[in-house]
Amino acid sequence: MFLTTAATKRPVAMSALLLALVLLGLNSYRKLSLENLPSVDVPYVTVTTIWPGASSEDVEKDVAKRIEDAVSGVEGLKHTYSTCFENAGNTIVEFAIGTDVDVAAQDVREKIDAIVGELPAGCERPAIAKLDINAAAIATMFLRGGLSPDDLYWEAVNRVHDRLASVKGVAEVKVIGGEEREVWIELDRDALAAAGLTAAQVAQAVGRGVLSVPGGRVREAGSELAVRFDAEYHSVDEIGSLQVAGADGARRYLRDLGTVRLATEEPRQRAFLDGEPGVTVKVVKKSDGNTVETVRELKRRVEDIRRELPPGAELLWLQDDAEIVQANVDNTIADIGSSVLLCAVILFAFLVNLRSTFVVAVTMPVTIVISLFFLQLCGLTLNLSTLLAMGLSAGTAASRSTSRPSWRWASPPASSSPTRSSCWRASSAASRPQARRARRAGRRRARARRSRPWRSSPRRARTSS
């Protein structure tokens, strides 16, 4: 009622307000994030623990059970699920709906920190993370070429990964396949027996000998210098010169106890494209990132990377989600436009009224554009849910514009002829046939009253009697 009164009494002000809202809506469409699904925070927290060399039974007894007991007192806890494998265990902590996931993750982290010292020796520190269902890969690439598997992996990690990870909106870059380089030390059993050493002692000596630690500070002549103990090796031959103390106190070089060589780790996963091995690169976006803008920037960055790759290497773009998201938005806009056009054509064909057709053809798109401003104001994105809501709102606006007009009883003016009685009058200009029928009905009732004066004048009839 307020808007109707304001529109009739202040038409210029309401026109300026609508124009401002339309401009804000167009500007919001440029800034709105385009997604496939709405962002949803599920109340789950995952705790992943790595224990090299442990069996699934040991992980369940010594790690998973202690973690479940530690988080059992967290507020809002609903269920805990643990899955144990060889060398690792994963615990999922489920909270009640409505729980703040950030606060819950912090509470779980505090509980886990309290029992880290109770975990078995050799067990890595548990990794705690929120379960993000929106952290899905939005782009997939494949690196292949005439290089060895370890060279392809090096290019993927040190060139492709580093360049793509700095793109705005990227949360993680996953590298699948390839073979990572590592140094292998293959010990000679006879040489170890002659020196009175074991493989564990050699591994301990290598761990102590290959390190880099700070050594303090040195002040001299008003200046201060940082001292660092650097025992890292820059080549495989230098590692072979590492000395290992034997049982008799004699020192022996590592190269005398075995072979030191550069090799690749044991492959646990491989990637193939059309039967050709290579490395798969998957890009995961942030939960609040724009899928379309992120993919566009990734494509520009990939073009720069391709020019820097060594001869024979090729980085292929396999698929992305930007095409699907953009197609959803384009289809929704096309459907809304077709619905507006169809509604206007039908109105004009049945009513032959340009004014009603113009009102419907203008108000429907203006309503949709203004709604974009309120979408951005509420922090929402353009996704399947919001696009469906916009399509339904367009249909609702069309049905309201073409609905049957309401009627009201209008008394005739005082100066009107006594032969003309009150009649139904349409409140809409698009209802002339109904108005004509109402006038004809009013005339019939007036003629009936004239033929029976005692009903039209009840006071005079009582006096005569």
pLDDT tens for each residue of 68-116: 999 988 888 889 999 998 889 999 999 988 888 888 889 999 999 888 8
User: Three-class SS of residue 63?
Assistant: helix
Could you tell me the CA-to-CA distances from 122 to 49, 129, 236, 265 in Å, in that order?
11, 22, 27, 21
Q: What does the pLDDT read at residue 402?
A: 56
Mean pLDDT of 181-197: 85
CATH architecture of 44-130: 2-Layer Sandwich (3.30)
Domain with CATH 3.30.70.1430 in the chain: 44-130
At residue 432, the pLDDT reads: 64
Of the given ranges (110-119, 205-214, 268-277), which has the lowest mean pLDDT? 205-214
- Taking residues 136-150, what's their average pLDDT? 86
283 burial class (0-12, 13-18, 19+ CB within 10 angstroms)? buried
Token readout for 355 is 């004014």
What percent of the chain has pLDDT above 90? 11
Location of each CATH 3.30.2090.10 domain in the chain? 182-264
Q: Which residue blocks in 125-269 are alpha helix, DSSP H?
A: 149-155, 162-165, 189-195, 199-209, 236-240, 254-257
pLDDT for position 142: 93
One-letter identity of residue 336: I
Say which CATH superfamily domain 2-36+325-401 falls into.
Multidrug efflux transporter AcrB transmembrane domain (1.20.1640.10)
Contacts of the segment 400-404: beta carbons below 8 A, 24+ positions apart: 401/343, 401/347, 401/359, 401/360, 401/363, 401/364, 402/343, 402/346, 402/347, 402/360, 404/431
- Please report which confidence band the pLDDT of residue 400 belongs to, taking 50, 70 and 90 as the band edges: low
User: Token pair 């998973």 is at which residue?
Assistant: 64
> Which pLDDT belongs to residue 367?
83
Quickly tell me which residue has 């009649």 as its tokens. Answer: 423
d(CA 219, CA 191): 47
Q: Which of 179, 178, 155, 175 is nearest to 310 (CA)?
A: 155
Q: Where in the chain is the domain with CATH 1.20.1640.10?
A: 2-36+325-401
Give the whole-angstrom CA distance, residue 213 versus residue 380: 49
Token pair, residue 347, equals 């109105």
The answer to which of 125-134, 324-333, 448-457 has the lowest mean pLDDT is 448-457
Average pLDDT over residues 342-348: 82
pLDDT tens digit sequence for 27-36: 988 888 887 7
* Rounded mean pLDDT, 391-400: 69
139, 170 Cβ separation under 8 angstroms? no
Kindly state the percentage of the chain with pLDDT values over 70: 88
**Can you give the three-state secondary structure of 168-210, one letter per residue?**
CCEEEEEEEECCCEEEEEEECHHHHHHHCCCHHHHHHHHHHHC
211 or 274, which is more confident = 274
Average the pLDDT over each of 9-18, 55-64, 253-262, 387-396 and give the range with the smallest value. 387-396
Number of Cβ within 10 Å of residue 137's Cβ equals: 17
CATH architecture of structural domain 137-180+267-320? 2-Layer Sandwich (3.30)
| Least confident interval from 14-23, 27-36, 39-48, 245-254 | 245-254
39-57 pLDDT, tens digit each: 777 788 999 999 888 888 8
Ranges in the chain annotated CATH 3.30.70.1320: 137-180+267-320
For position 403, what pLDDT does the model report?
Answer: 55
Could you give the CA distance from residue 126 to residue 46 in angstroms, rounded to a whole number? 10
Helix, strand, coil percentages for the chain (3-state, nearest 5): 50, 25, 25
Would you say the pTM of this structure is higher than 0.75? no
> According to the model, what pLDDT value does residue 255 have?
86
Q: Tell me the pLDDT band of 37, cut-offs 50, 70 and 90.
A: confident
**What is the reported pLDDT for 431?**
54
Rg (CA), the chain: 39
Q: Which residue has the higher pLDDT, 354 or 295?
A: 295
Mean pLDDT of 366-376: 86
Angle, vertex CA 184, rays to CA 178 and CA 186, nearest 5: 140
Q: In this structure, how many other beta carbons lie within 10 angstroms of the beta carbon of residue 152?
A: 23
Query: Which of residues 219 and 300 earns the better pLDDT score?
Result: 300
Structural fold of domain 182-264: 3.30.2090
CA–CA dist 185, 205 (Å, integer)? 13
Distance separating alpha carbons of residues 316 and 303, to the nearest angstrom = 10
| Long-range contacts formed by 76-81: CB under 8 A, 24+ apart | 76/43, 76/104, 78/43
Look-up: residue for tokens 């009253």?
Answer: 449
Q: Whose CA is closest to 338, among 384, 395, 381, 276?
A: 395
Residue 425 has pLDDT above 70, yes or no: no
Six-digit token pair at 257?
């106890």
Nearest to 49 by CA among 61, 67, 71: 67
Q: What is the pLDDT of residues 270-310, one digit of tens each?
A: 888 888 888 999 998 887 778 888 899 999 999 999 988 88
SS3 string of 317-362?
EEEECHHHHHHHHHHHHHHHHHHHHHHHHHHHHHHCCHHHHHHHHH
Alpha-carbon distance 306 to 299, whole Å? 11
Average pLDDT estimate for 234-239: 81
